[in-house]
Amino acid sequence: LGSMQTSGSKLCSCPSFKLREVASMYFTMIAVFLVILVVALQGSGPRRSDFPYKVPLDPQGLLELSWNVSYPEQAVNFQLLIRNLQFGLLFGMSDRGEFENADLAVLWSDGTNSYFGDAWSDAEGQLHMDSQQDYQLLGARRAPEGLYLLFRRAFSTCDPKDYLIEDGTVHLIYGILEKPVHSLQAINLSAIHGGLQRVQLLKPNITIPELPSDMKTMEIRAPDVVIPSQETTYWCYMVELPQGFPKHHIIMYEPVITAGNEALVHHMEVFQCAAEFDSFPPYNGPCDSKMKPDRLNYCKHVLAAWAMGAQAFYYPEEAGVAFGGPGSSRYLRLEVHYHNPLVFKGRHDSSGIRLYYTATLRRHDAGIMELGLVYTPVMAIPPGEDAFALTGYCTDKCTQLALPAAGIRIFASQLHTHLAGRKVVTVLSREGRERQVVNSDGHYSPHFQEIRMLKEVVAVFPGDELITTCTYNTQNRSQATVGGFSILEEMCVNYVHYYPQTQLELCKSAVDPGYLRRYFNLVNRFNDEEVCMCPQVSVPQQFDSVPWNAFNRDVLKSLYGFAPISMHCNKSSAVRFPVRTASLPRLPNKTPSCR
C-alpha cells in the first residue's frame, strides 16, 4: 500500500476539518488492510537474505528490526518483528534519541480496530498526525515467532517534520503500547515503555572480495562470563598467540554473539599489545577492576572493532592487517561492553570476535593513522555551549613529507570523542578546496563507535590536507572542558584505516600555545576577573578562571579559527617529521540540498 499524500499544513498549525477527515479515512483503510494481510499472509517469516542488517531494539528482545537499503530508490525498507504485540507500538527517529521532536511510524489499536500511520511529536512530546504520509506500509505477516510489519521510508522527504536519514549514526526510538487508545493524540509518550537504539542505517554497498583457500579462523572470546547485574560493564580478557606465530594478514572479522544475549552485547574490540613488553599477565574480569594488571593499559592497537547492528568487516583484496611475526606482540586484549539496563542476573556469555586470517600475504599491509586534535588542554570548550566546533589539521606539509608518491587509499574510519561530542567530520582538501568527505556523522554518539567501511575508497596524495572537525555540547557543564585523556576531558580523533602502510601514524594539530597566552592576556585586559599567568598555574586552571561572557567565548572561537597551529606529524616511533607551525583557513560549510 502506497502512502497517501495530502495537501495543506500540519495539523497543529492549521487545524483543517477536511485534513482530519481524510486522515481518519486513511487510518481506517489501513486498519482493514492490516487485518486482511495478517489473515492472508499466515506462515513463515520473510527470508533473512531480504533484510541483511538486524538489531534488537529493546533489552528483552521483544522487538527486532531488520532492514535493507536501496540506493537507486534512495529508500530504506524496514522489517519489524513484534514478538508479543499488545495494543501497538511506536517506531521512529530523532536527533539524539528523544521522544520530543521525533519522526514516528505508529501502530495502535482502540481494542477493536488497528491503525497505522506517519506521525510526529512536538517539543512537548504531543503526537500529531502528519499531513504527508512518508512511512509507507508494505505489508504484515503473522508467523510463529510473532508479527512481521514491513514498511519503507525515503532518505529525504522534504517534509520539515520528517527526519533526514543520512550517513552515520541514527538514533532509533521505540515505544510499546500496553493499553488500547481511542486516537493517535491520546497516546501519552511520557507514560509508555520505550527506549532507543543506535545504528548505522545507510550501510555501504560493498562487493565482498573473494577469500583465499588457505584462510583460517581464530575466535577471541571470553569463556563463560557471568554478566554483572549492573547497567554498564566493560569486560577484559587476555589472549596469547602461539610461540613463534608467523606473520599473517587479517582479511575479515565478524561478531560471535552467544544466543540470547544479542540485546546485551553492545560493542566489542580486539586490541594488540605493545611489542616492547616480552609478556603480559593473564586476566579475565572487569576492565575497571583494581585487580586488572596495569600492563594491560599498553594493549591499545585496534585490530578489530564491532558495534551492535554491524555486520562482518572485510578488508580490500589488496590489503590485510598484519599480526604475528617479528616486531609484533603475541598478546591480544578483548574488550566487551555489556549494556544491561534491566539488570538481568546470572546471564552467561562467551561472545567475542572471529578473525579470518591467511598466511598468503596480500600486496599491502593495512595501516591506521590518527587524524584530528592533539590531546592537549590548549584546545578547550567553554561551558554552556550548544554546538562548539574544534578543528584539527593534517597539513599539506605533513602529507608531502610522509606519504609515498602514489598516495594512500583510505577504506575505513572510526570516529572518536568523549562524552561532549555530537558531530564529527573529516574532509579531504586539495589545493585549498574541499574535494571529498572522508567520513561524517552528524548525529555522532560517544556510546556508539565502530569501524565503518567507506562507501568509496578515498585516495590521498602528497600535498593533500585532511581536516577533522568535532562539534561539542557542554550545556550541562559549569567549567571549561579541556582536551585530554580523562573521560570528562575531550578528544577529536578519526582513526583512518588505509593502505599501503607508511611510517606516518599520527597527523594532528593544536593551536600554537603562544597564541593561547595572548588570549589570556586579552581576557585580563577586558575583564575585572584576572586569569593568573604564573608559570606554576596549569592551562586547565587558567581556563577555569575565565569569566565566560559572550566576548570571551567569541574571542576563543576566533582564536581557534585563525591562529597558527602547532603540527604533530609523527612516525610510529613517536619521532616527528620536520614540519613547522602553519596557518590554515577554514573551509566553507556546505548545506545539503533537498531533492
Residues acting as catalytic residues? 234, 416
Q: Which of 196, 205, 258 is nearest to 227 (CA)?
A: 258
Look up residue 296 and give its DSSP letter. Answer: G
Distances (CA, A) of 303 to 74, 294, 324, 480, 527: 33, 21, 12, 34, 50
Picking from 452, 443, 389, the residue whose alpha carbon sits closest to that of residue 163 is 443
Q: Cα-flanking dihedrals φ and ψ of residue 16, to 5°? A: -90, 130
DSSP 404-425: -TT-EEEEEEEEE--TTEEEEE
* The three grid cell numbers given for residue 456, joined into one nine-digit string: 568509496
Q: How far apart are CA 140 and CA 148, in angstroms?
A: 5
CB 329 within 8 A of CB 275: yes
Whether residue 426 contacts residue 414, with contact meaning beta carbons closer than 8 Å, is answered with no
Q: Which of 213, 280, 219, 272 is nearest to 247 (CA)?
A: 272
Cα dihedral sign, 493-497-503-504: negative
Closest CA to 476 of 424, 529, 419, 423: 419
Q: How far apart are CA 317 and CA 311, in angstroms?
A: 18
Bridge partners of 355, per DSSP, are: 218, 253
DSSP summary character for residue 290: T
3-state secondary structure of 55: strand
H or E element in which residue 550 lies: helix 550-562
How is 498-531 classified by DSSP, letter by letter? Answer: EES--SEEEEEEEE-HHHHHHHHHHHHHH-SSPP
- The DSSP-derived string for 60-80 is TSSEEEEEEEETTTTEEEEEE
Burial of 7 (0-12, 13-18, 19+ CB in 10 A): exposed
Which of helix, strand or coil describes residue 325?
coil
Spatial distance between the Cα atoms of 368 and 359, rounded to a whole number of angstroms? 21
Element (H, E) at 118: strand 114-121
φ/ψ (deg, to 5) at 524: -65, -30
Q: Which three cell numbers stand for residue 12?
A: 497543529
| Rounded CA separation 424/446 (Å) | 11
Tell me the pairing of strands 319-323 and 364-365. Answer: parallel
